[in-house]
Amino acid sequence: MDRKAAKRWFVNGNVQGVGFRFFVQDKATTLGISGWARNVDDGRVEVYAVGSANKLSDLAAALHVGPRMADVRSVEEQEAKIENLSGFTVR
């Protein structure tokens, strides 16, 4: 069994109003990752996720691309404390 880890990302660019959070939810659900995605007042999207290092790495790669209408300019990654969450939600 892979050890669980947690990460928090702040995605910068044209990422609000383009389905970014739902794109992340779909990707995370497919990967079996729990967590959430939410819009931040400054125009970024914040993503928090818990899963194996490999799965988190796959999710991170997807965050750098985003959905078709998004324009991702940068992704800031941070280590995070593991929270016990079930499923992946859009906040």
- List active site positions: 21, 39
> Which DSSP category does 69 fall into?
T
> Which DSSP category does 86 fall into?
-
